[in-house]
C-alpha cells in the first residue's frame, strides 16, 4: 500500500514554487487556487521572502496548493495505484482534495478562511510552539501540565510539538525534561489548542456552504489515525482539528497496521518522510520537492 502524504505548515521556503511554474498547466492551476484562497500564490511562491511566507494566512494556502498541484501531476493516470492519502495539520485539506472529498477550489477557499482566522486568533495573545525532542513521556506530561502547555502535535519518532504562552515556552526551554531538547518554531501562535477556538467557529461557518463527497481513495484522520469513509464527517474533523491535537503518530500506526509499502510526500516535501523514516523504519519514501523528484515518485507508485 502506497500512502500519499501532504505536509503541514512550516514546510514552505522562499521561491519553492518557481520550478513548478515551468510545468505545463501549473501556472493556470495555481492561479485558480489563489483566487479561491484570496492569496497571490504565484508571487508568494516565487519572489516573497521567508519572513513573508511565514505569515499563517499566506503559508497555509501556499502549502496546500503546492500539494494539490503535485498530486495532480503524480496521479495523472495512476490514481488507482494509491492505497491511501493523509495530511499533517493543514495538509489534511490537500488530502481531502486528493481523495475527492473537496474540490480543489473549495479546499483552497476553506484554507484561506482558516489561515486568516488562525492569524487573527494568534494576534490576540502572545503564544507560540516549540518542538520537544526526546525525553520520557511521563516526565514530559508532568512538565507540560506544570507550565500550562499543550501537546499540540504528536509526531512520533520521539517528537512532540508543544504550544502555549511564550513565557511558558521560554520556561520549558530553560528547564526541559531530562533527556530532551527544545527547538522554538517560527509560527505565529498556539495552533491545535483551545487558543484557536474562535478560528474553529469562523471555519465552521464557511464550511457550511461547501459540498462534500465520500472519498474515492482511503483517507486517514489526524484525530486518531483511523480511516474515514464519509466526506461530511471528514470535513467536521477538519474543522475541529484547528483547536485539537494532531496525532500523526497514530496515522503512522494506521499505515503500519494496513500494510504500508511506501510513502510519497507531496510538495513542499521533507518533514513527513523524515518522521516516517524514524517511525516506520525501512519503509521506502520519496519526497517531492521539485519536478525533478516526480519520476522517482511515479516509479514507486507504479511498482505497488
The predicted structure's pLDDT at residue 202: 97
**192 part of the active site:** yes
Q: Is the pLDDT of residue 10 over 90?
A: no
Q: Is the pLDDT of residue 128 over 90?
A: yes
Average pLDDT, the chain: 96
Mean pLDDT of 7-25: 94
Mean pLDDT of 170-179: 94
For the stretch 291-302, pLDDT in tens is: 999 999 999 999
Distances (CA, A) of 104 to 33, 94, 152: 7, 8, 27
The predicted structure's pLDDT at residue 12: 92
The predicted structure's pLDDT at residue 30: 97
Q: Is the pLDDT of residue 280 over 90?
A: yes
Q: Is the pLDDT of residue 157 over 90?
A: no
For the stretch 78-124, pLDDT in tens is: 999 999 999 999 999 999 999 999 999 999 999 999 999 999 999 99
For the stretch 230-263, pLDDT in tens is: 999 999 999 999 999 999 999 999 999 999 999 9
Percent of the chain with pLDDT over 70: 100
Cα 125 to Cα 248: distance, rounded to the nearest angstrom:
27
CB 222 within 8 A of CB 251: yes
pLDDT classification of 304: cutoffs 50, 70, 90: confident
Percent of the chain with pLDDT over 90: 94
CB neighbours of 275 closer than 8 A, spacing ≥ 6?
155, 156, 157, 159, 248, 252
Mean pLDDT of 7-29: 95
Which residue in 48, 89, 130, 180 is the catalytic one? 89
**304 part of the active site:** no
CA 68 to mean position of chain CA atoms:
12
Question: Regarding beta strands 2-6 and 262-265, do their DSSP bridges make them parallel or antiparallel, or are they unpaired?
Answer: parallel
pLDDT classification of 186: cutoffs 50, 70, 90: confident
Mean pLDDT of 163-175: 95
Other C-beta atoms closer than 10 Å to the C-beta of 28 total 9
Question: Which range among 17-26, 95-104, 155-164 shows the weakest confidence by mean pLDDT?
Answer: 155-164
CB 255 within 8 A of CB 272: no
For the stretch 59-73, pLDDT in tens is: 999 999 999 999 999
Q: Is the pLDDT of residue 285 over 90?
A: yes
Which residue in 29, 44, 88, 192 is the catalytic one? 192
pLDDT classification of 229: cutoffs 50, 70, 90: very high
Cell digits for 273?
518522510
- Which domains does the chain possess? 2-122+193-302 (3.40.366.10), 128-184 (3.30.70.250)
Cell digits for 3?
500512502
Phi, psi of 203 (to 5 degrees): -65, -40
Cα 283 to Cα 2: distance, rounded to the nearest angstrom:
10
Q: Single out the residue of 192, 249, 166 nearest to residue 56, CA to CA.
A: 192
Q: Rounded to the nearest 5 degrees, what angle is found at the Cα of 212, between the Cα atoms of 271 and 1? A: 45
Amino acid at each position: 500500500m502506497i500512502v500519499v502524504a501532504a505536509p503541514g505548515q512550516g514546510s514552505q521556503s522562499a521561491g519553492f514554487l518557481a520550478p513548478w511554474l515551468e510545468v505545463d498547466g501549473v501556472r493556470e492551476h495555481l492561479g485558480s487556487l489563489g483566487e479561491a484562497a484570496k492569496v497571490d500564490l504565484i508571487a508568494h511562491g516565487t519572489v516573497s521572502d521567508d519572513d513573508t511566507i511565514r505569515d499563517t494566512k499566506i503559508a497555509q494556502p501556499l502549502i496546500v496548493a503546492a500539494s494539490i498541484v503535485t498530486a495532480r501531476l503524480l496521479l495523472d493516470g495512476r490514481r488507482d495505484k494509491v492505497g491511501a492519502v493523509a495530511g499533517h495539520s493543514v495538509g489534511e485539506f490537500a488530502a481531502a482534495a486528493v481523495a475527492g472529498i473537496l474540490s480543489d477550489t473549495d479546499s483552497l477557499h476553506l484554507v484561506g478562511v482558516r489561515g486568516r482566522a488562525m492569524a487573527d486568533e494568534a494576534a490576540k495573545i502572545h503564544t507560540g510552539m516549540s518542538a520537544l525532542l526526546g525525553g520520557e513521556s511521563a516526565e514530559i506530561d508532568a512538565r507540560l501540565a506544570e507550565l500550562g502547555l499543550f501537546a499540540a502535535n504528536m509526531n512520533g519518532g520521539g517528537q512532540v510539538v508543544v504550544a502555549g504562552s511564550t513565557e511558558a515556552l521560554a520556561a520549558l526551554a530553560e528547564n526541559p525534561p531530562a533527556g530532551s531538547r527544545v527547538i522554538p518554531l517560527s509560527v505565529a501562535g498556539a495552533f491545535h489548542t483551545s487558543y484557536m477556538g474562535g478560528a474553529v467557529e469562523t471555519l465552521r461557518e464557511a464550511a457550511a456552504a461547501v459540498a462534500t463527497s465520500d472519498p474515492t481513495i482511503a483517507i486517514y484522520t489526524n484525530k486518531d489515525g483511523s480511516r474515514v469513509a464519509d466526506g461530511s464527517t471528514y470535513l467536521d474533523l477538519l474543522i475541529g482539528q484547528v483547536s485539537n491535537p494532531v496525532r500523526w503518530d497514530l496515522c503512522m500506526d494506521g499505515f503500519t497496521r494496513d500494510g504500508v509499502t511506501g510513502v510519497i510526500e507531496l510538495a513542499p516535501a521533507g518533514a513527513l518522510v523524515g518522521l516516517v523514516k524514524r517511525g516506520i523504519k525501512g519503509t521506502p519514501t520519496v519526497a517531492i520537492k521539485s519536478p525533478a523528484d516526480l519520476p522517482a515518485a511515479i516509479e514507486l507508485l507504479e511498482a505497488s
